[in-house]
Amino acid sequence: MINISKTKALGFVDEFGRFTDMKTTLHNTLSKAVMEVASGSTDFNTAMRRTVETLGGSGIRVNYGGGITRRLDSAVRQNILWGAKQASNEYNEMIGEELGCDGIEIDWHSNPRPSHEFMQGKQYSLSGKKTVNGVTYESADRALAALEDYGCLHIKTPIILGVSEPRFSEEELAELNRQNSEPITINGVTKSGYEWKQGMRRLESAVREQETIKATAKASGNNILADECDERIKAFKNKYNEISKATGIAKQPDRMSPSKPQNVLTNNTNGIIMKKNKGLELSRYVNSSDRLYEYARNITPLDGYEDQVIHGDKYGFEIRDLDGKTASVYTPREFAEILRRDPNYHGGNIRLISCYAGAEDGNAAQALANQLGVDVLAPNDVVIVYPDGSMKIGYDGKGKWILYRKR
């Protein structure tokens, strides 16, 4: 399922600089992880952690040939993300064939690699250049080839040409692309958004590395080295925060955690996993195997609100089990009680990312606002969360956020 043919000369360099070919081991371990993530039996972070541990810990580097080596956890992260994306695209393809789709639409995300910008948000024909209802669609060939580039996380969705409304109008795309292409200067250094984003990825990796060294140093009683690591981590994080603030690129603190068991609270009776994301104003009451769980982490926080992500309808909320079936149902009063005991909820106003919670003919959001004595912002229709964290309310995009004040 996973294509790692583009990673040349796979193997590990041990602490003595010896290179060991472990292509088969790596391939098998990664395939297993990709399968688990794609089938939903494991969440991304767990699969990633397990894979890194299986392969021998996070201090190892993967040799890509040509003098390029990368930390094992970075390589594993990229491989699993890419493999899962491919699986998702294959699944979409199958659905598309069943529905008789003759085109694809590529998603849009901020700061893509420059060579992929051309296809962002565009619709393409699968049978060569074609005009339908006066609109000309280019052939999908070039986009399909770009999607195969290693590490590409663009998603293609099957569409019916002339019927499926594009998610973005030409004007919206032009504006979004303009924002992407604007160079950003920080402390006299000017780079594109993509370059700054890559810089943030490198800093995340550097923090992980220092955290690993620090853990080893501490275990061996070398407090001087541990303190030095702390200093470096602080410096890296300052730089990281500075870039995020200047560019608006979302921070991903999870990526800084070294690959060892993280702070995960597991409630095995119903399969909920609540992640302790300190500093990240987001609580997800969704199963870790739910795609929403992954996507929600990309949601841009809204000033003055704490996000709560949970499935629901206009009268209440529900938590689903690993198969996506309803495991427990909560009234707004019960959910308020859960939130009061949630250490990640700080008692502020809530943006409730829950389908229909703000529907005018229901009471979920209003009741939650009354129970907690805070304001609740909620969608009046289904809320669709995209992989990049952007949201749409209503299948036609015409729904809206409604503010329910405590009464």
Which positions lie near Zn ion, rule CB under 5 A? 116, 152, 154
Q: Which is nearer to Zn ion, 49 or 154 (CB)?
A: 154
CB of 76 to Zn ion, least distance (A): 20
Q: How far apart are the first and last CA of the chain?
A: 54
Helix (H) or strand (E) run with residue 274 in it: strand 272-275
- For residue 20, how many other CB atoms are within 10 A of its CB? 11
Residue of this chain nearest to Zn ion (CB atom):
152
DSSP secondary structure letters along 30-47: HHHHHHHHHHTSS-HHHH
> Do residues 84 and 38 touch, judged by C-beta distance below 8 A?
yes
CA pair distance 397, 5, nearest whole angstrom? 40
CB of 93 to Zn ion, least distance (A): 17
Size of the chain in residues: 407
3-state secondary structure of 318: strand
Q: Which is nearer to Zn ion, 86 or 210 (CB)?
A: 86
CB of 147 to Zn ion, least distance (A): 7
Q: Which is nearer to Zn ion, 50 or 113 (CB)?
A: 113
DSSP code of residue 287 = B
CB of 198 to Zn ion, least distance (A): 13
CB of 146 to Zn ion, least distance (A): 6
3-state secondary structure of 110: coil
- The sign of the CA dihedral 34, 37, 38, 40 is positive
Q: Which is nearer to Zn ion, 342 or 388 (CB)?
A: 388
Contacts for 14-21: CB closer than 8 Å, 24+ residues apart: 14/60, 15/59, 19/63
CB of 123 to Zn ion, least distance (A): 16
Q: Which is nearer to Zn ion, 116 or 167 (CB)?
A: 116
- Max distance between CA atoms of the chain, in angstroms, equals 72
DSSP code of residue 285 = -
Instruction: Output the six-digit token pair for 293.
Output: 């769980």
Q: Which is nearer to Zn ion, 154 or 275 (CB)?
A: 154
Q: Which is nearer to Zn ion, 180 or 371 (CB)?
A: 180
State the burial class of residue 384 (Cβ atoms within 10 Å of its Cβ: 0-12, 13-18, 19+).
middle
CB of 121 to Zn ion, least distance (A): 12
Q: Which is nearer to Zn ion, 42 or 123 (CB)?
A: 123
Instruction: Output the six-digit token pair for 257.
Output: 């955690």
CB of 50 to Zn ion, least distance (A): 27
State the burial class of residue 209 (Cβ atoms within 10 Å of its Cβ: 0-12, 13-18, 19+).
buried
3-state secondary structure of 177: helix
CB of 154 to Zn ion, least distance (A): 4
Amino acid letter for position 364: A
Q: Which is nearer to Zn ion, 107 or 211 (CB)?
A: 107
